[in-house]
Structure 1
């Protein structure tokens, strides 16, 4: 492959002039430009995009730190953000953390070595690692520090909406299957659910906590171990994957959904529409979440000061066949 020295030799001009041409870092006469263009064409030269970007101090690369690409919600979020960043001529590097601190720390150091323009940290397990790095960072779903921007759905109000929908559909003995309490999103959903239930004295509410959020092999035995699950006429599950496992378990037990037990999930991932019956769920507005995160990151990269640090987007009840609620959709 040709290099910059060969370009200079073929064009009959100095290496410094060729370097200024490629890096747009100084004056190059039109005559020299034409000679360089001709030499590039003859040698079929492709400039090193990363080297040029580092020289200009803008790699046009964004690091996306995600818990697991197999989780449908994060899968859809990444797809949306990749599309939006590409429209701004940015490329993404995808880092899968598996909610593991050591893996996340390794990815942070890798992204720094590539001099990425910014990092979106989704559900970080090591917020302290981002606090003193000289790269724009946006937290998705949890907080890094008061100085860093956080973007998330309003999980608290989503939890309230889930209880209200089940209650309005006639449920009076309701179970909430909570996700791992280490995740802020799941604890906020629980908090909203409990707060809403306090206003209804005739509702009996129980909570069961799981230690995993999307690994099917771990979810199945955990859900099978929930005692008296068939006694509940309503179940709010903290995400759609777990809700699907609950529905399968109830089906195996001969429970009719929604006639005997109504089920509502959280996320509105594509999975919900494929289930039978289809899954009522709390929608996280993926397109809006992706757009606001992308727009804020570009503004930070461009050096803009952003005073607002927290952005919590409204959730929506998406009514499908797994519940008997009267509403089709309800913004909360």
Structure 2
């Protein structure tokens, strides 16, 4: 007698039923509205009824989604983070700290990137608002924030002002002043400055802070304007350094570490040594600043502190401030600056 055929398991697969809020209501013999109020921790639900619903949830192993809970509470345990450029090391570090700090508080972070385009910024913000976030952290586009959206969601701007919302930022002008006074203290008087785009508020604040600090000592810097990237630092740096020794600056400060690193590359290509021939100061203290050779003297932004304040304000841990919060920058002296002979 031959053995019976093995069952064809491919034809009789069973799928576990997805439990929903109606199933919980039926098991507990209550209305869907009662289950919703229990999930939202509504105090109007009596103890006995709450225990009955909780028991049904446990028996059915019901797991409400974050978005579903958010729709009942008009929010989710999620923060929207909008940044202009993920390739910018400062914004990447900001995103890292926001995610880590939010996670410790039980919040997830949904990241959106605008590529410095106000139209994309508007679309990204409107999309995030449809997910019912607890709050929004926005680094606006540097050439003017988009308009056309309104929300009751707790919102803060970081690094750049966003009309109508509180700003959490380093004091850009004071930080740039630290760089100027550092170079003056080293004996430099023939000083240049590589600025960011003149239409960008952050660029103007850093430039003004640097120029004002030098003016207090009777020094006027040579200023060139570009973008905040490596290429601008290299191109403008070559323009400043490809001169006779008595005509080129002895020290150059920049509006960003990326510019400073590009500048140091230009110096190397021209066989100039940093800091023996030219002292260089950056701004931001991105991770790469400590890795290049020589290590970069720079102005440090307290990025973790900025991220912590932004998360606290957008999750309700701290009330939204009426005025802007400007945090203190600090001078980090490494190997790219030296006293003038």
Same-fold call, TM cutoff 0.5:
yes
Residue 136 (structure 1) aligned to one of 154, 170, 173: 154
Show the counterpart of 1:313: 327
Name the structure 1 match of 2:14. none
CA spacing shift, 1:134–1:249, aligned 2, 3 Å = same
Higher strand share: 1
Please give the TM-score of this superposition, normalised by the length of structure 2: 0.83
Q: Is the 8 A contact 1:258 1:322 kept in 2?
A: yes
Question: Which TM-score applies when normalising by structure 1?
Answer: 0.85
Gaps of 5+ in 1: 327-332
2:103 match: 86
Number of corresponding residues: 313
Identify which of 229, 243, 251 aligns with 2:268: 251
1:219 CA displacement: 3.1
Among 262, 265, 277, which residue is 2:294 paired with?
277
Structure with max Cα Rg:
2
Question: Which of these residues, 189, 210, 223, is aligned with residue 207 of structure 1?
Answer: 223
Residues 223-234 of structure 1 correspond to what in structure 2 (within 5 A)?
Answer: 223=236, 226-230=239-243, 231-234=248-251
The answer to whether the 8 Å contact 2:81/2:137 transfers is yes
1:281, CA displacement in angstroms? 0.1
Residues 175, 220 of structure 1: alpha-carbon distance in 2 compared, 3 angstrom cutoff:
closer
| 1:160 counterpart residue number | 177
Give the corresponding residue for 1:38. Answer: 59
Pair 1:323-2:341 in alignment: no
Give RMSD over aligned pairs: 2.5
Once the two structures are superposed, what CA deviation does each residue of 1:217-252 show, in whole Å capped at 9, x if it has no partner?
x43773366254551110101111111111011101
Are 1:238 and 2:255 an aligned pair? yes
Q: Is the 8 Å Cα contact of residues 165 and 325 (structure 1) preserved in structure 2?
A: no
* Cα separation, 2, equivalents of 1:19 and 1:154: 46
SS at match of 2:71: helix
1:113-158 CA-to-partner distances (Å, cap 9, x unmatched) read 112221111134543527743222111122223x521111111111
